[in-house]
Amino acid sequence: MSIYKSSNVIIRVLEWLLPSDMTHLIGDLEEELYNDLERYSALQAYLLFLYRCTVSIPLFLYQSLKWNVVMITNYIKVALRNIKKYKSFSVINVLGLAVSISICLLIILFIYDQKNYDRFHEDKDRIYRITSEFKSSGNFSTHRYATSPANLVDILREDYPSVETATTIRRRIGGEADAGGKVIRVNGLYGDSNFLDVFSFDLLLGDPESALSNPGSIILSKETADKFFGSQDPIGEEFRIIGRGDFVITGVIDTDVRSHLTFDVLASYSTLLSNEQYRSIYIDNWRNSFYSSYTYFKLKKNADIEDLAVQLPGLIETHYDSTPESYLAEFIIQPLTKINIGDSMDNQLGSVMPRLPVYFLIGFAGIIIFVACFNYVGLTVARGLSRGKEVGVRKALGANKGSVVGQFLIEAILIALFSLVFASVFLIYLLPEFNDLQFIRMELTRGISFDIVKDYPVYISFLSFTVIVGLLAGLFPALHLSSIKSAIVLKGLENKKGISKSHIRKGLVVIQFVFSLVFIITALFLNRQFNQFLNAEYGFDAEHIIQLELQDMPYDRVKTWMLGNPNVASVSGTSVVPALNSRSDRRISSDQIEYDAEANHFSVDEEYIPNMKLNLVAGRNFSADLATDVNGPFILSRKAVADLGYSSPQDAVGKYVAFSDSTYPVIGVIEDFVSSDITVETEGVMMQYQPEYIETASIKVLPGQLATVTNYINEEWDDLGSQYSARYAFYTDQLGETYSLLLFNDLAQVVKSVAFFSILISCLGLFGMAMFNAESRTKEIGIRKVMGASDRDIVFLLSKEYLLLIAISIAISLPLTYLFNSFLLQQVANRIELSPLVFLAGIFVTLVLALITAGSQSLRAAKANSIDNLRFE
């Protein structure tokens, strides 16, 4: 009876197409089909039915569409007339909506762009990555890593028949590369010979079968190949990565695609495997091998990923005996297309945008669009008096409620579409600003490209979004104005208040200004907080310090060399430079506490504490003369001492602290300092005298001599015999550009823009409202002036209503702002006080702006010639 079924489909379509009062026609068609089925074969009956439908449908459609088109054309005509007639209102609405729509378009573009990552792979729906979840026993926190054990890939390939092919990627190959007579820094990955089977990157030159097979093979990105070799054919050329070895170029690959995998070079994984020592420590050892390896696999067609997922837990049991400390809890399968925008994970590979900032941006855009829609609602409802007459006449002439609603919705959509035109222009200016935000640059390295503007789905989403905004803005006015009783309006407008809904309009203005105030004050606080970070006490002296990376040079050599310059005051060394967001936390323990404490570990020399002006509060510094100090005793910070459960620094000195598999005496205690991040609470610090682990020389320079010393480094570094070029930075510059600070600055910038746009749009709305109010009270103003009221009286009379609204907004927003900011600032250390002055400043700015916008219209009304006013109408 499949024929009958397909006739059902046609009937469904007809039901959907035809107005409800025409369903009896479908009944007729169905009855006839039924009759025919008795008379003819099923096929014949069905063909007859089909024939009947095809000859009938055009007429139906014509009939039902014709009147709709006539009505819609009429709606559009009337809407355009209204837009033209009330020019100032239209301009205000269009501007407000345009600004907010452009922000939303930006966010849509951003999300669309991000969602487009890794869509170019042929079998993208069958490709997955295995990620790992760890649980640590102490505080039961879980850590999700994008990585997985290195040898998992072999197990997938061999033991799981539903896996078509699997590949492993290992990160961290890079540094200065020497090839084609040039030295340029490159970043890259290791990939195994299945890389090109799983992913659909386009290999421009070279053999896809063998390019990544042999040890010492390397594929360059098109861009990198061009940098080193220009138009020459690079295949077979030598490519040396300093410190990593010599490679032979076996391919050139197109990386100009949107993928979370970003690399300049792709070296063969077999290069790593051929190094026996490396292999046994970092690859074959299941405990060590999961920090840098990524496992991707392609499922067979028709295989079910769930079947695979249930088998993975067994793997963990065979390869790990779960210890109480920290253990691998679970393998989580992640679809390739869900990596970006995706869960935030540790050891993320390449550019991945986490969800949270995206949600934030959507939230902010949503607020702005609401503020703009409120403008539209307020201004349209305010004009309800004059529009009311129109509605009255329409209704008296036979329009039903639905058609009046349609009329107003069409008008709103038209306004929104006009706004879209302007919004697109704004967007061109907004886009570069947005791409300049740090988190975009850091997480994505690319930002939104203009390329995707070529994609037609973007335009469809822009258009449909705009129509939705139009509907959203127009819905309330449409429902409200269409419910006007024609008799009341046409009789003589006694129900004025009800029609112009003044309390709703006032409510909208209040909400708008509450939003604006919250964001303005928050922006001010964030700005202050940022400055607070920049000027905060770090607990050490960063002035006149150059941080020079040792790279392949021994510390002693660099120290003697630097001290040879008369402008260098002193030189010290450390494994980790403090406060630059590099964390080096280790577990330590004492007999005073039950669970382990954490502290950031620094390997330093004896000069480090005096050189950085760290304060020793108890005990002594390391001494170069005592052989026992090397690799042995600890100097702890005050916080670490407290975490270990000692009552005072003096108490801790001489005690033994457990670390790794041994215990070490505490010989000194220093004052706390910012060890990894200025935006987080003070962390404990532990220092050991370990000159051989030093990676950076902190060079203290005489005041005013920074430039001469950097010249000295630039000129003489090469003579030291390093393979690398010199890498150094001024410490004060580095401190101002840490990742956490830049992110915080982004937050401040985004909130600032939200504040700016929301106050701009709110003031536009207030302007319109004031203008409307002044216009509708023209006669009253005229009479008042004739009776002797001064301009000032009139301005006051007209403005006081708005002042009251702003006052209410302030009253509502103060507690909100306080709570919001306390919450926000609770997340960071080195907090500023929520000073009342800042609240006052925000209120002042808002008040001034509101007074200027509302007052200007009131003043214009007051200045007008009262004779003209009274002649009005």
Partner 1 sequence: MYILSRTEEMLLISVWKLQDEAYGLSIRTHFSELVGKEMSVGATYIPLERLKKQGFLESWESEPTEKRGGRSKRFYRLTAEGINALSRVKSIHDRAWTGLPNLIFNKSE
Task: Give the residues lining the site for partner 1 (CB under 8 A).
Answer: 11, 22-32, 34, 52, 55-60, 63
**Cα–Cα dist 484/607, whole Å:** 84
Residue type, 333: I
**CB of 31 or CB of 207, closer to partner 1:** 31
**Closest distance to partner 1 from the beta carbon of 399 (Å):** 18
**How many C-beta atoms lie closer than 10 Å to residue 595's C-beta?**
10
Would you say 26 or 475 has its CB closer to partner 1? 26
Q: Which is nearer to partner 1, 62 or 429 (CB)?
A: 62
Give pairs for 552-561: CB < 8 Å, separation 24+: 552/243, 552/722, 552/723, 552/724, 553/720, 553/721, 553/722, 555/605, 555/691, 555/692, 555/694, 555/697, 556/691, 557/720, 558/697, 558/720, 559/697, 561/716, 561/720
Query: Nearest Cα to 93, choosing from 513, 369, 376?
Result: 376
The nearest distance, CB 400 to partner 1, in angstroms, is 17
Closest approach of partner 1 to the CB of residue 5, in Å: 13
Q: In the complex, what is the shortest distance from the CB of residue 73 to partner 1, in angstroms, rounded to a whole number?
A: 22
Q: Which is nearer to partner 1, 34 or 459 (CB)?
A: 34
Q: Least distance in Å: CB of 486 to partner 1?
A: 24
- Asked if 671 and 614 count as a contact pair (C-beta separation under 8 A), the reply is yes
Sequence length of the chain is 873
Is the previous residue joined to 339 through a cis bond, with omega within 30 degrees of 0?
A: no
Q: What is the spatial distance between Cα 32 and Cα 25, in angstroms, rounded to a whole number?
A: 11
Closest CB 330 distance from partner 1, rounded Å: 53
267, β-bridge pairs: 190, 218
CB 353 within 8 A of CB 443: yes
- Identity of residue 764: L
The minimum distance between CB 480 and partner 1, in angstroms, equals 33
Measured from the CB atom, the residue of 19 and 610 that comes closer to partner 1 is: 19
Closer CB to partner 1, 22 or 816, in the complex: 22
Nearer to partner 1, 60 or 291 (CB): 60
For 348-410, give the DSSP string. Answer: --S---BHHHHHHHHHHHHHHHHHHHHHHHHHHHHTHHHHHHHHHHHHHTT--HHHHHHHHHH
Toward partner 1, which CB reaches closer, 56 or 708?
56
Report the nearest approach of partner 1 to the CB of residue 13 (Å).
14
Nearer to partner 1, 70 or 852 (CB): 70
Contact present, 223 and 264 (Cβ < 8 Å): yes
In the bound complex, what is the minimum distance in angstroms from residue 8's beta carbon to partner 1? 9
Cβ(401)–Cβ(483) below 8 Å = yes
Q: Output the CA–CA distances (angstroms, integers) from residue 713 to 566, 648, 679, 727, in the order listed.
A: 13, 43, 32, 9
Cα torsion 585, 587, 593, 594: sign: positive
Structure-derived torsion over alpha carbons of residues 762, 764, 770, 771, reported in degrees to the nearest 10: -160
Which of 801, 765, 774, 766 lies closest to 859 in space, CA to CA? 774
The distance of closest approach from Cβ of residue 29 to partner 1 in the complex, given in angstroms and rounded to an integer, is 7
Indicate the residue among 33 and 336 with the shorter CB distance to partner 1.
Answer: 33
Q: Which is nearer to partner 1, 58 or 314 (CB)?
A: 58
Neighbouring CB atoms inside 10 A of 70's CB total 10
Name the residue nearer to partner 1 (CB basis): 53 or 420.
53
Smallest distance from partner 1 to CB 37, Å: 11
C-alpha triplet 794, 800, 804: angle, nearest 5°: 175
Question: Between 34 and 359, whose beta carbon lies closer to partner 1?
Answer: 34
Q: In angstroms, give the least distance from the CB of 34 to partner 1.
A: 6
Residue closer to partner 1 (CB basis): 32 or 651? 32
**Cis bond before residue 341 (omega within 30° of 0):** yes
Q: In the beta sheet, which residues pair with residue 635?
A: 668, 687
Q: Rounded to the nearest whole angstrom, what is the least distance from the CB of residue 32 to partner 1 in the complex?
A: 6
| Nearest-angstrom CA–CA distance, 599 and 683 | 7
- The total of other beta-carbon atoms located within 10 Å of residue 752's CB is 17
Token pair belonging to 500: 């112009």
Q: Which is closer to partner 1, CB of 29 or CB of 155?
A: 29
- Closest to partner 1 by CB, 59 or 627: 59
Residue type, 555: Y
CB of 28 to partner 1, least distance (A): 4
Under a CB-based contact definition with an 8 Å cutoff, are residues 357 and 440 in contact? no
| Token pair listed for 776 | 């509708």
Least distance CB 23 / partner 1 (angstroms): 5
Task: Fill in the DSSP letter of residue 309.
Answer: H
Q: Which amino acid is at 365?
A: A
Contact 460, 138 (CB under 8 A): no
Query: What is the nearest approach in angstroms of partner 1 to the Cβ of residue 49?
Result: 11
Nearest one of 815, 806, 810, 802 to 856, comparing CA atoms: 802
